[in-house]
């Protein structure tokens, strides 16, 4: 019996050498590293394991039974308004692609400024993170979402009132149920001051809020935030994708204007690898649960759904919206647009034992691209104007891609995309996304056979 | 951020959670996790506090005129804790520290502002041993 394991072209292989599928070289290397260092692996980025994703879905496109819109002439709108349920001043976005929360501390000041510049240029929002609001991002973001996190680092009522929306972070797709750790070498004087902690110590971010423990308490907390901001701005609730149907229902009950749903592919600044890869569910499986929850509560479109976790291109945007999202959010992709993992930094990556395309040690603070660092000489490598321009270019590109696909389906607004426009390439994706397997009417778990 | 809040009775769990400034006076008891993640507020409790009080407290002061429950000051950073009565147990990285003149003065001033009649000399001080500020595998038993 022949066992071909795909390593025949790898350096060092010769006939007779057979790699274990269970103990492959990566597994062996990790066991050896753990034995050597006595510490689990902490890294940034999101889940790297393959999971069912938007690539497993296809649009049907128009034909005789549907007619398309002219690609370069007929209008396909992209605007979205977030916070229509309670806020006096909902956020109006020109494109349904927002920038996810990323902290100053994890990211450099220049990176935060570049995110604000890029997002503002195309009329969308950016989001603070675990560490408070910086002048760089407030000053360069026309629409800024201020995160209320369990750690409350940098949180204060003055900045709440300067925000355009508040996002109560319950969980994150990369680590639902987990907190965080900003390692001491990224704690500069400025970061330490914003977080009320000494310089150079590891800063733990709590896994749950200290002043509320359930949806009834959360409702009170949200009322408190509404009073502070005079019911002016929207309040989002962000959850990591796990028991999504119930989490969304409870968030709606607690009074959310919008739900931010983050799948397991979503990025993190620093989390244990074992956590990133083994907790949470793919965004593909979570969106239909969230939509069903909103439909059951008669809240679809009244409470907006923003989804994140592995959004890379316009196809992902369009597919997420066809499944029922009102908007999407990007984090890892935004960092890559700024210059993360760019080939021009290859020498720098090599010096720290990585390579462009693989770099995920965002926790280490030695980012050659000047993004996930607090070292002034590294940060200076990122020009916030140029970075902002790259991000704006990228956002425009994926918006155009999404519009192209929507027009092909005959839709004059991205929000008109619907599950009926989609089919799945695999049984797993069909079951998770609740759309038919291509060429059939079979939705596993929904239709009979 | 500032000002004074006075509770004539007792407080439920997590009183003054992440408080950044001002003074909180509780004339009764405070339940579990009083002053959790404290970030600058001064808290004076005339009665007792529950378990895990001052958990992850970063900055500010907790003055307890009664007793403290188990795991006081677990994973504390730079907050100062003063307890007059008994402490059921200290949390990870929390130790008793010397009560110097400056600490007696701080307790005296907070008691006066809170209108609580107690002798600062009866209090003991607790704070961080600063051994868990940076992760070390040798400390894994403390987590």
> Helix A244-254 crosses helix A215-228 at what angle (to 10 degrees)?
40
Residue A259: name the closest of A268, A246, A269 by CA.
A246
Q: Does the beta-carbon distance from B18 to A39 stay under 8 Å?
A: no
Instruction: Give percent helix, percent strand, percent coil of chain B, each to the nearest 5.
Output: 15, 30, 55
Q: Does the beta-carbon distance from A210 to B77 stay under 8 Å?
A: no
For residue B91, the enclosing domain spans: 4-142
Give the one of A196, A202, A211 whose C-beta lies nearest to B135's C-beta.
Answer: A202
- pLDDT of residue A10 exceeding 80, the answer is no
Q: Are A103 and A269 in contact (CB under 8 A)?
A: yes
Contacts of A195 in chain B (CB under 8 A): 58
pLDDT under 70 in chain B at which residues? 142-143
DSSP classification of residue A410: T
* C-alpha to C-alpha distance for A159 and A166, rounded to whole angstroms: 10
> Within an 8 Å CB–CB cutoff, is residue B142 touching chain A?
no
Q: Does the beta-carbon distance from B39 to A196 stay under 8 Å?
A: yes
Structure confidence at residue A442 (pLDDT): 97
Structure confidence at residue A7 (pLDDT): 67
- Give residue-wise pLDDT tens across range A45-66: 999 999 999 999 999 999 999 8
Structure confidence at residue A181 (pLDDT): 74
* Distance to chain B for A204, nearest Cα, Å: 9
Instruction: Give percent helix, percent strand, percent coil of chain A, each to the nearest 5.
Output: 35, 15, 45
Residue A151: name the closest of A211, A99, A106 by CA.
A211
Structure confidence at residue A449 (pLDDT): 61
* C-alpha to C-alpha distance for B112 and B134, rounded to whole angstroms: 37
* C-alpha to C-alpha distance for B127 and B108, rounded to whole angstroms: 18
Chain centre to alpha carbon of residue A356: 21
What six digits make up the tokens of A48? 């790297």
Structure confidence at residue B108 (pLDDT): 98
Q: What is the DSSP string of A105-163?
A: TTB-HHHHHHHHHHHHHTT--EE-BTTB--HHHHHH-SSEEEEE-TT-TT--HHHHHH-
What value does the mean pLDDT of chain A take?
94
Pairing, β A203-205 against β A180-182: antiparallel
- Give residue-wise pLDDT tens across range A339-354: 999 999 999 999 999 9
Q: Does the beta-carbon distance from B14 to A211 stay under 8 Å?
A: yes
What six digits make up the tokens of A161? 């009132």
How confident is the model over A422-441, as a mean pLDDT?
98
Which own/partner pairs from A138-144 qualify as long-range (CB within 8 Å, at least 24 positions apart)? Answer: A138/A162, A139/A113, A140/A113, A140/A116, A140/A384, A140/A388, A141/A115, A141/A116, A143/A91, A143/A93, A143/A119, A144/A116
Structure confidence at residue A5 (pLDDT): 57
User: How much is the ipTM here?
Assistant: 0.88
Give the start-to-end residue ranges of the domains of chain A: 54-417
* C-alpha to C-alpha distance for A134 and A115, rounded to whole angstroms: 12
> Within an 8 Å CB–CB cutoff, is residue B20 touching chain A?
yes
How confident is the model over A118-138, as a mean pLDDT?
94
Which of B11, B12, B14, B41 to probe by mutation at the A interface, max A CB count within 10 Å?
B14
Q: Does the beta-carbon distance from B137 to A39 stay under 8 Å?
A: yes
- pLDDT of residue A385 exceeding 80, the answer is yes
CATH entry 3.20.20.70 includes domain A54-417: yes
- pTM of the shown model: 0.93
Structure confidence at residue A91 (pLDDT): 98
């Amino acid at each position: 019996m022949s066992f071909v394991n795909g390593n025949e072209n790898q350096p060092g292989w010769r006939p007779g050498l057979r790699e274990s599928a269970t103990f492959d070289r990566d597994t062996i290397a990790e066991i050896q590293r753990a034995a050597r260092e006595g510490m689990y692996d902490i890294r940034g980025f999101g889940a790297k394991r393959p999971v069912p994703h938007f690539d497993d879905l296809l649009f049907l496109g128009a034909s005789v039974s549907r007619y398309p819109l002219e690609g370069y002439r007929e209008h396909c709108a992209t605007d979205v308004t977030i916070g229509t349920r309670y806020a006096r001043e909902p956020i109006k976005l020109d494109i349904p692609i927002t920038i996810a929360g990323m902290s100053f501390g994890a990211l450099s000041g220049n990176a935060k400024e570049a995110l604000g510049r890029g997002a503002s240029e195309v009329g969308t929002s950016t989001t603070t993170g675990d560490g408070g609001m910086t002048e760089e991002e407030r000053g360069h973001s026309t629409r800024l979402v201020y995160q209320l996190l369990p750690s409350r680092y940098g949180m204060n009522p003055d900045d709440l009132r300067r925000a355009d929306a508040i996002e109560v972070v319950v969980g994150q797709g990369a680590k639902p149920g987990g907190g965080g750790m900003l390692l001491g070498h990224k704690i500069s004087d400025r970061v330490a001051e914003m977080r009320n902690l000494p310089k150079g110590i590891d800063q733990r971010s709590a896994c749950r809020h200290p002043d509320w423990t359930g949806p009834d308490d959360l409702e009170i907390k949200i009322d408190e935030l509404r009073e502070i901001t005079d019911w002016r701005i929207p309040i989002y609730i962000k959850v990591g994708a796990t028991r999504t149907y119930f989490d969304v229902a409870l968030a709606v009950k607690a009074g959310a204007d919008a739900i931010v749903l983050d799948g397991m592919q979503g990025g993190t600044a620093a989390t244990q690898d074992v956590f990133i890869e083994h907790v949470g569910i793919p965004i593909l499986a979570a969106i239909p649960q969230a939509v069903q929850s909103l439909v059951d509560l008669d809240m679809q479109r009244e409470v907006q759904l923003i989804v994140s976790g592995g959004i890379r291109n316009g196809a992902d945007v369009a597919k997420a919206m066809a499944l029922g999202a009102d908007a999407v959010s990007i984090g890892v992709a935004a960092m890559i647009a700024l210059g993360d993992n760019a080939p021009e930094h290859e020498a720098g990556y090599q010096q720290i034992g990585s390579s462009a395309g693989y770099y995920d040690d965002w926790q280490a603070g030695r980012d050659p691209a000047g993004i996930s660092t607090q070292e002034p000489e590294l940060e200076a490598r990122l020009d916030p104007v140029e970075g902002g321009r790259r991000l704006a270019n990228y956002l425009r590109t994926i918006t155009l891609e999404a519009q192209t696909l929507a027009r092909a389906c005959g839709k004059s607004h991205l929000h008109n995309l619907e599950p009926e426009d989609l089919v799945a390439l695999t049984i797993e994706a069909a079951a998770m996304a609740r759309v038919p397997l291509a060429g059939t009417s079979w939705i596993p778990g929904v239709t009979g056979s | 951020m500032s000002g004074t809040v006075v509770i004539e009775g007792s407080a439920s769990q997590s009183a003054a959670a992440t408080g950044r400034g001002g003074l909180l006076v509780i004339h009764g008891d405070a339940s579990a996790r009083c002053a959790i993640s404290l970030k600058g507020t001064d808290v004076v409790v005339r009665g007792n506090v529950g378990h895990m009080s001052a958990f992850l407290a970063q900055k500010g002061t907790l003055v307890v005129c009664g007793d403290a429950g188990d795991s006081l000051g677990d994973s504390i950073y730079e907050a100062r804790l003063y307890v007059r009565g008994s402490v059921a147990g200290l949390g990870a990285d929390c130790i008793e520290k010397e009560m110097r003149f400056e600490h007696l003065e701080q307790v005296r001033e907070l008691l006066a502002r809170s209108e609580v009649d107690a002798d600062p000399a009866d209090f003991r001080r607790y704070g961080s041993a600063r051994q868990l500020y940076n992760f070390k595998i040798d400390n894994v038993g403390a987590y």
